[in-house]
Amino acid sequence: MEFTAAITHEDRWYVARCLDVGVASRGESAEEALANLREAFELSSEDEVPPVDLQPPIIATLRLTA
């Protein structure tokens, strides 16, 4: 299965969030944050049935005027 992850840089951490299921993790690099997210996702879904017919999230840019 494939899921969508968004990685942001917040202070000294990279924060990775799985947009499909609401799991998040962090690391000192984007790669570490993604690896930690994978582990967190696997641990959180050990006893759960994988989602069926999961539609990818819509990613959009929101522009606000100052």
Residue 29 lies in a domain: yes
Provide the domain limits for residue 13.
Answer: 5-44
Residue 25 lies in a domain: yes
Task: Tell me which of 4-8, 32-36, 43-47 is least confident.
Answer: 43-47
Residue 50 lies in a domain: no
Task: Tell me which of 1-5, 30-34, 37-41, 44-48 is least confident.
Answer: 44-48
Averaged over 7-31, what is the pLDDT? 94
Report the pLDDT value the prediction gives residue 51, as an integer from 0 to 100.
66
Residue 58 lies in a domain: no
In the chain, the DSSP E strands lie at 5-10, 13-18, 23-27
Total domains, the chain: 1
Q: Which pLDDT band, with edges at 50, 70 and 90, does 50 fall under?
A: low
Average pLDDT score over the chain: 88
**Model confidence, pTM:** 0.76
Q: Helix %, strand %, coil % for the chain, to 5?
A: 25, 25, 50
